[in-house]
């Protein structure tokens, strides 16, 4: 693994990459002990502030753990970020156009670019949303596209999230915590700020309000305190200064949506919902949903309330649709995709199926219609037995699966329990907000797989996160080489975490 | 303001006030145990049994041990009146209103829960109970302190305070009913035994206030009157009732049409009248029972008027209103 992977701070010769040289210098100046001290303070502060996520304990009970923020940031130079930003804006524009298209004329289908059966066969395709065009034609108000960096340093889109992407609260909290815990690392850097995100989001949501004489009332809709992302829902509501509501607070009368207040009903114009389509209205979707609001879809269809992200966006970020995104960009925008996809194969195609099954131990296989790393199979780290099981699963229903070439995730030095740094795999989830225009929050959430060799970065699998810096050119002077290093030189230079590679070799021998 | 959020804030105020008062009462009672007055049959103490009686736990004959009482009243998360149950409930409520209260308020109650509601609580209660009670009192005081400084003075503020006031009045009333019941036949104004009187005062942190306002010795009856009627003492029942009334008036656009406020107006004037009747212990008990009943009715009226849309069933105090 390590040998093939691109490290974002350290070059192949073991010296810091140019944009990271000051950061590496600052890390060395900080030293191992102070890094460990800051880590201990971080855990205490996060527990006190309840910046936690629930993780199942040994005996199955749910425990609150401090959200694991690694104190070594990931740095991206401004010039590189400019390309990512353009690529993301282009991609979300196309996804938004696709969403509008499939719930109206489906021209992309008529043009033969994407088969209709593929779109309409998605469980997330919302027939109830047909013909509804939200104000401004915006469907994907908030998007989070997961990016990875291949061994040659090129950025690729791993998947799109345009339903209710989460994680942005950690971007903001991570930055706040980093400024408090390790201010020394910021020295001689111009790090682009991220804290105007709540204002950006509120503007976008207000811009999406249905035309009305009143000042639009925006609310954040959470499934409740037991939802694993409740911290984020409350955080965003607080930061935007709007009400955080649950289904029981909302009521629809005469196709108009209201909240129940201490003084009676008050009109709501925009609902930033953090709950899946299936649960929002028991009349139109799942009748067993206790979380939903009866009549909400009627109010939505009547244009009296905006739901963000729009109903039906789940059909757009589905893993089965993903391979067509470059074609979408071409079709709607007449441009070549700036950000590449990872090569992906539909297993419903018999040729793809056979060639994929023949080399399953080299591929990543993902179920469609799932999110959050659930059901993902990584061939190169799987045992023979697991490969056999997966083969059976895929054969049973090939349409449920896609196969992807393995991307050699990039690495970033990450603090170990003894205070030294070792490379760990990361991905990046930048957030795009679509209001009157599109904007991208600088950086985004870098997720890091903390166990050595682990490639799934989701926090449910022991993943942590890193602050992500977009660096404008700083005025600082060139820094001298550090006297003493917290980097375990061997690991940084030769990247000896060979678990993955050796497993691959074993498999090839087997 | 959302009816649900107002309801949660009201409950949060109650939870914090409950934990605070329960810790004070227990500490006062325990310190009295140490001084060994129980060999005097006429000594009036907040006995361990009466502590249980306050929370509606029936005694099965044998006098309960201190460990047993602390387990039930402090550490048992399943007993609805226990301190741990209140703190857990308070933290859950604070979590549900995190977008409304300040970060400092949330942190205070989150830390309180982290420090107190732990597996080693029973052993801490055995070894250094007052350290536990101190921390609870300090954290609760900090909660109200940061609330004063950091919370917007809006409806939410009013409902949070209303919850604290109604709980304070209820706790003091319970404590007095139990103590006076034990003493009702033996106490007069000439009674100089001050054991339970001092405990009562300590339990509400009112010893100094009493001394400053009253030159006479702190007998049980004088202290009880002080705790019911003294308008300038913030934890007296009249002061809490008035605080509750003011909080609701502030939150209500039409207070003169509000059933809970009208009830509280009546209760206030009733208490002002009874104050001048020179009550005996029996009269005081009647007054306190009346207050408890009125507060239970006010609680229902508050739920009906302000929280009608909220999904939780009618909120009762962590231990249940006037049982």
Residue A465 predicted with pLDDT over 70: yes
User: What pLDDT is recorded for position A369?
Assistant: 67
Convert the pLDDT of each residue in A206-260 to its tens digit: 999 998 777 999 999 999 888 888 889 999 999 999 999 999 999 999 999 999 9
Closest-CA residue of chain A to B100: A238
Bridge partners, A259 (sequence order): A250, A266
Q: Do A261 and B3 touch (CB under 8 A)?
A: yes
Cβ-based interface (< 8 Å): residues of B facing A: 1-6, 92, 95-96, 98-100, 103, 106-107, 110-111, 114, 155, 159, 251, 253, 306-311
Smallest CA–CA separation between A192 and chain B, in Å?
25
Work out the average pLDDT over A407-418: 91
Say whether A248 and B311 touch across the interface (CB within 8 A). Answer: yes
CB neighbourhood size of B172 (10 A)? 26
CB–CB contact A249 B309 (8 Å): yes
Tell me the shortest Cα–Cα distance from B156 to chain A, in angstroms.
10
Position B36 scores a pLDDT of 53
Contact A246 B5 (CB under 8 A): no
Q: How far apart are CA A472 and CA A262, in angstroms?
A: 49
User: What part of A 191-210 touches B (C-beta under 8 Å)?
Assistant: none
**Weakest mean pLDDT among A72-86, A199-213, A443-457:** A443-457
Tens of pLDDT, residues A99-146: 999 999 999 999 999 999 889 988 889 999 999 999 999 999 999 999
pLDDT class of A49 with cuts at 50, 70, 90: confident
Residue B18's SS3 state is helix
- d(CA A353, CA A131) in angstroms, rounded, equals 36
Cβ–Cβ under 8 Å, residues A158 and A146: yes
In contact, B101 and B74? CB cutoff 8 Å = no
Q: How far is CA B36 from CA A458, B43, B64, B129, in A?
A: 60, 10, 16, 17
Which residue of B1, B96, B308 is in closest CB contact with A225? B96
A499, pLDDT greater than 60: no
Residue B33 confidence (pLDDT): 66
CB distance B251–A48 less than 8 Å?
A: no
State residue A371's pLDDT score: 58
Q: Which residues of A touch B1 (CB under 8 A)?
A: 261-262
Residue A427 pLDDT greater than 80, yes or no: yes
For the stretch A288-336, pLDDT in tens is 777 789 999 999 999 999 999 999 999 999 888 999 999 999 999 999 9
- The residue among A285 and A474 whose pLDDT is bigger is A285
Work out the average pLDDT over A450-462. 74
Asked whether the ipTM of the predicted complex exceeds the cut of 0.90, the reply is: no
CB pairs under 8 A between A and B: 67
- Residue-wise pLDDT tens digits, A263-288: 889 999 999 999 988 888 888 887 77
Candidates B124, B117, B129, B108; CA nearest to B23 is B129
- Residues B88 and B77: their CA atoms lie apart, in Å, by 8
Environment class of A163 (CB within 10 Å of its CB; exposed 0-12, middle 13-18, buried 19+): buried
- pLDDT number for residue B60: 67
pLDDT the model gives residue A373: 63
Q: How large is the angle between the packed helices B103-116 and B83-96, nearest 10 degrees?
A: 150
**DSSP string computed for A49-96:** HT-EEEEE-TTS-EEEEE--EEEEEEEEEHHHHHHHHHHHHHHHHHHH
Q: What is the pLDDT along chain B (323 residues), one digit of tens a residue?
A: 899 999 999 999 999 999 999 998 888 777 766 665 554 433 444 566 677 777 777 666 667 778 888 888 899 999 888 999 999 999 999 999 988 899 999 999 999 999 999 889 999 998 888 899 999 999 999 999 999 999 989 999 999 999 999 999 999 998 888 778 766 656 555 555 556 677 777 777 787 888 888 877 778 888 889 999 999 999 999 999 999 999 999 999 999 999 999 999 999 999 999 988 878 888 899 999 999 999 999 999 999 999 985 544 333 333 333 33
A249 contacts B4? CB cut-off 8 A: yes
> What integer pLDDT is reported at residue B222 of this predicted model?
87
DSSP A126: -
pLDDT at A487: 67
Residue for token pair 């406020």: B261
Enumerate the residues of chain A whose CB falls inside 8 A of the CB of residue B96. Answer: 225
Q: Is A416 helix (H, G, I), strand (E, B) or coil?
A: coil
Name the maximum alpha-carbon separation found in chain B: 57
| Token digits of residue B211 | 């001394």
Contact indicator for B295, B166 with CB cutoff of 8 Å: yes
Averaged pLDDT of chain A: 86
| Of residues A50, A248, A259, nearest to B106 (C-beta) | A50
What residues are paired with A265 via a beta bridge?
A260
């Amino acid at each position: 693994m390590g040998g093939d992977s691109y490290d974002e701070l350290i070059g192949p010769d073991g010296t810091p990459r140019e944009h990271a040289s000051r950061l590496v210098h600052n890390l060395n100046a900080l030293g191992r002990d102070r890094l460990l001290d800051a880590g201990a303070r971080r855990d205490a502060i996060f527990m006190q502030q309840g910046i936690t996520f629930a993780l199942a304990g040994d005996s199955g009970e749910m425990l609150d753990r401090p959200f694991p923020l690694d104190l070594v940031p990931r740095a991206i130079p401004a010039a590189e970020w400019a390309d990512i930003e353009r690529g993301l804006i282009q991609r979300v524009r196309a996804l938004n156009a696709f969403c509008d298209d499939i719930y109206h004329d489906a021209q992309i289908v008529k043009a033969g670019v994407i088969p209709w059966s593929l779109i309409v066969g998605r469980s997330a395709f919302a027939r109830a949303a047909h013909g509804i065009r939200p104000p401004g034609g915006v469907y994907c108000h908030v998007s989070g596209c997961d990016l990875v960096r291949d061994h040659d340093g090129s950025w690729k889109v791993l998947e799109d999230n345009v339903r209710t992407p989460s994680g942005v609260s950690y971007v903001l909290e991570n930055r706040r915590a980093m400024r408090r815990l390790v201010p020394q690392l910021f020295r001689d850097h111009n790090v682009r700020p991220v804290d105007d995100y709540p204002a950006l989001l509120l503007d976008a949501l207000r811009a999406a309000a249905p035309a009305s004489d009143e000042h639009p009332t925006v609310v954040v809709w959470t499934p409740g305190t037991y939802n694993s992302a409740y911290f984020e829902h409350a955080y965003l509501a607080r930061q935007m200064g709007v009400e955080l509501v649950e289904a029981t607070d909302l009521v629809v009368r005469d196709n108009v949506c209201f909240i129940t207040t201490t003084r009676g009903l008050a009109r709501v114009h925009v609902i930033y919902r953090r709950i899946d389509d299936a649960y929002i209205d028991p009349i139109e979707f799942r009748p067993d949903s206790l979380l939903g609001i009866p009549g909400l879809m009627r109010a939505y269809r009547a244009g009296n309330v905006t739901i963000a992200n729009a109903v039906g966006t789940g059909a757009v970020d589905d893993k089965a649709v993903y391979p067509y995104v470059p074609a979408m960009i071409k079709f709607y925008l007449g441009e070549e995709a700036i950000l590449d996809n990872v090569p992906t194969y539909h297993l419903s195609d018999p040729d793809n199926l056979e060639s994929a099954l023949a080399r399953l131990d080299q591929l990543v296989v993902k179920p469609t219609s799932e999110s959050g790393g659930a059901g993902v199979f990584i061939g190169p780290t799987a045992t023979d037995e697991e490969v056999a099981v997966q083969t059976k699963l895929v054969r049973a229903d090939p349409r449920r699966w896609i196969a992807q070439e393995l991307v050699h995730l990039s690495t970033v030095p990450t603090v170990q329990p003894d205070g030294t740094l070792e490379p760990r795999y990361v991905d990046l989830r930048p957030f795009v907000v679509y209001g009157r225009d599109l904007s991208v929050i600088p950086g985004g959430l870098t997720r890091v797989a903390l166990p050595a060799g682990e490639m799934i970065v989701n926090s449910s699998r022991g993943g942590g996160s890193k602050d992500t810096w977009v660096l404008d050119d700083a005025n600082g002077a060139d820094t001298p080489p550090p006297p003493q290093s917290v980097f375990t030189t061997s690991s940084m230079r030769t990247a000896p975490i060979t678990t993955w590679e050796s497993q691959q070799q074993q498999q090839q021998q087997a | 303001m959302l009816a649900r959020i107002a309801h949660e804030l009201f409950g949060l105020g109650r939870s914090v006030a409950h934990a605070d008062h329960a810790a004070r009462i227990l500490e006062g009672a325990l310190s009295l145990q140490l001084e060994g007055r129980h060999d005097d049959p006429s000594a009036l103490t907040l006995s361990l049994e009466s502590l249980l009686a306050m929370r509606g736990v029936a005694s099965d004959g044998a006098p309960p041990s201190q460990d047993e009482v602390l387990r039930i009243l402090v550490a048992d998360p399943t007993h609805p009146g226990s301190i741990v149950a209140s703190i857990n409930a308070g933290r859950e409520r604070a979590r549900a209103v995190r977008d409304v209260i300040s970060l400092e308020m949330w942190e205070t109650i989150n830390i309180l829960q982290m420090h107190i509601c732990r597996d080693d609580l029973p052993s801490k209660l055995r070894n250094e109970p007052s350290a536990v009670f101190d921390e609870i009192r300090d954290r609760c005081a900090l909660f109200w302190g940061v609330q004063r400084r950091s919370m917007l003075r809006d409806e939410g503020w009013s409902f949070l305070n209303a919850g604290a006031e109604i709980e304070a009045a209820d706790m003091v009333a319970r404590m007095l009913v139990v103590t006076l019941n034990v003493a009702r036949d033996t106490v007069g104004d000439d009674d100089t035994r001050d054991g339970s009187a001092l405990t009562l005062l300590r339990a509400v942190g009112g010893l100094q206030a009493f001394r400053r306002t009253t030159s006479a010795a702190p007998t049980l009856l004088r202290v009880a009157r002080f705790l019911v009627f003294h308008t300038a003492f913030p934890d007296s029942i009249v002061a809490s009732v008035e605080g509750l009334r003011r909080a609701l008036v502030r939150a209500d656009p039409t207070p003169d049409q509000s059933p809970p406020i009208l009830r509280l107006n009546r209760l206030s004037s009733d208490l002002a009248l009874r104050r001048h009747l020179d009550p005996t212990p029996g009269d005081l008990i009647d007054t306190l029972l009346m207050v408890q009943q009125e507060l239970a009715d006010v609680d229902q009226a508050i739920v009906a008027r302000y929280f009608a849309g909220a999904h939780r069933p009618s909120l009762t105090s962590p231990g249940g209103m006037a049982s």
